[in-house]
Amino acid sequence: MKSVSLFLAMAILGTAAFMARSDWWIVPSINRWQAGILGKNQYFPALTVFILALPPLLLLALINWWWRNKIAD
């Protein structure tokens, strides 16, 4: 399961990076939100990738935790 989790995590990060660089439908609103928070009308693509990747990575961590506890029982 460790290698599958690692592969999925890398795939999630790669997909988030692709989405951030290709102006996926949600990316402009995330960038506008960042520009409003940070000021100076600037945003950071790495923060956009982090925001896009965080929910699926948390879900993957929850599934991984459940899987390990299921095997331990």
Model confidence band, residue 8 (pLDDT cutoffs 50, 70, 90): very high
Count Cβ atoms within 10 A of the Cβ of residue 65 and give its class: 0-12 exposed, 13-18 middle, 19 or more buried. exposed
Task: Please state the pTM of the whole predicted model.
Answer: 0.85
In the structure encoding, which two tokens stand for residue 23, read together? 């102006």
Q: What is the DSSP string of 4-68?
A: HHHHHHHHHHHHHHHHHHTT-TTHHHHHHHHHHHH-TT---HHHHHHHHHHHHHHHHHHHHHHHH
Q: What is the pLDDT of residue 23?
A: 85
Q: Is the pLDDT of residue 73 over 70?
A: no
pLDDT tens profile 12-71 = 999 999 999 998 899 999 999 999 998 888 889 999 999 999 999 999 999 999 998 887
